[in-house]
Structure 1
Amino acid sequence: MKLALTAVFVKDIKKSREFYSGVLRLEEHMDSGVHLSYNCGLSLWQEDSALETIHGGKSQPGSGNRFELCFESEDLETDFARVNDSGAEVISPVAEQPWGQRVFRVYDPDWHIIEVAEPLTMTVKRFIAAGLSAQEISAKTTIPPEIVEQMAK
């Protein structure tokens, strides 16, 4: 068994599409009106349609903020500026996390937490450029030293 996609229930699929397709610039795969899938394995599903299909409309939806969707970006500053300029509510601007990776977080229109991070390979290469050894990088990032060495190549 393998994960095929992650479906996020959204209150307003048009508004969410503007955020995910327009602001985050995810590449759309298929649009069926109440369901929109992206090439990255994420999909948006209009909440009322999803609840009707799954529960016959009897289940009450919870609020967002119960999970985090994580995306990678090789141009974090540019992506943060675009997302910030869009009016999305920023949780935290670009900052280094305790494990060394640089990320920013915002809320999507339904208050799901969106993290955009540099790829860990970029984190490792940034630490190598700063003169850290594989062992030091491993201690900081918790990435095993042999994987640090593979990422450095």
Structure 2
Amino acid sequence: MPASMRIELFPANLQQFIEFYTKTLRFTLLKHVDDYAYLQRDQTFIGAAETASDESLEQKGSYRRPKKGVEIIFEVDDLEGERDFIVGKGWNLDADIELQPWGLKDFRLVDPDGYYLRITTHSSG
């Protein structure tokens, strides 16, 4: 079985998170139970547990809730199309498409909870 990627995010408002990731980034909502949602796009999976805390490692039951401090990178086939779709949904970019020194093009935005997202072309290795 090929590898896939799953991350866990901790938004303050789960419904706002779901709307952004499904309507703007085209993820599919697979599960939504209480304060938890599970989404998928291709082989990328995101779990999200609502938390109002901004502490670096809040204990909530047996779960650790890490503070934001990560750049989340999505590789796509059609970078310009992805950018146009996101901007068409009314979302502001942090940086428009640019060729980076490492040879890939990308653009950047921030999600409703402040997670920094980089949308990029596929890496060759």
Short-chain TM bin: 0.7 to 0.9
The residue type paired with residue 82 of structure 2 is D
TM-score for the superposition, normalised by structure 1: 0.64
* 2:117 matched residue in structure 1: 114
* Structure 1 residue runs without a partner (length 5+): 122-142, 144-153
* 1:87 matched residue in structure 2: 90
* Pairs aligned (count): 115
* 1:10 matched residue in structure 2: 11
> In 1, distance between residues paired with 2:106 and 2:30?
26
- Per-residue deviation, 1:4: 7.4
> In 1, distance between residues paired with 2:119 and 2:72?
8
Whichever structure has more strand as a proportion of its residues is 2
Are the aligned partners of 1:88 and 1:107 in contact in 2 as well (CA < 8 Å)? no
Report the identity percentage: 22
The residue type paired with residue 46 of structure 1 is E
TM-score for the superposition, normalised by structure 2: 0.76
> In 1, distance between residues paired with 2:33 and 2:46?
14
Runs of 4+ in 1 over 3 A off after TM superposition: 53-56
- Per-residue deviation, 1:81: 1.2
Q: 1:45 aligns with which of 44, 49, 52?
A: 49
Are the aligned partners of 2:18 and 2:29 in contact in 1 as well (CA < 8 Å)? no
Listed as ranges, the matches of 1:27-46 within 5 Å are 27-39=28-40, 40-46=44-50
Q: 1:103 aligns with which of 83, 106, 111?
A: 106
Instruction: Tell me which of the two structures has the higher relative contact order, counting C-alpha pairs closer than 8 angstroms and 6 or more residues apart.
Output: 2
Are the aligned partners of 1:88 and 1:108 in contact in 2 as well (CA < 8 Å)? no
Larger CA Rg, structure 1 vs 2:
1
* Structure 2 residue runs without a partner (length 5+): none
SS at match of 1:69: strand
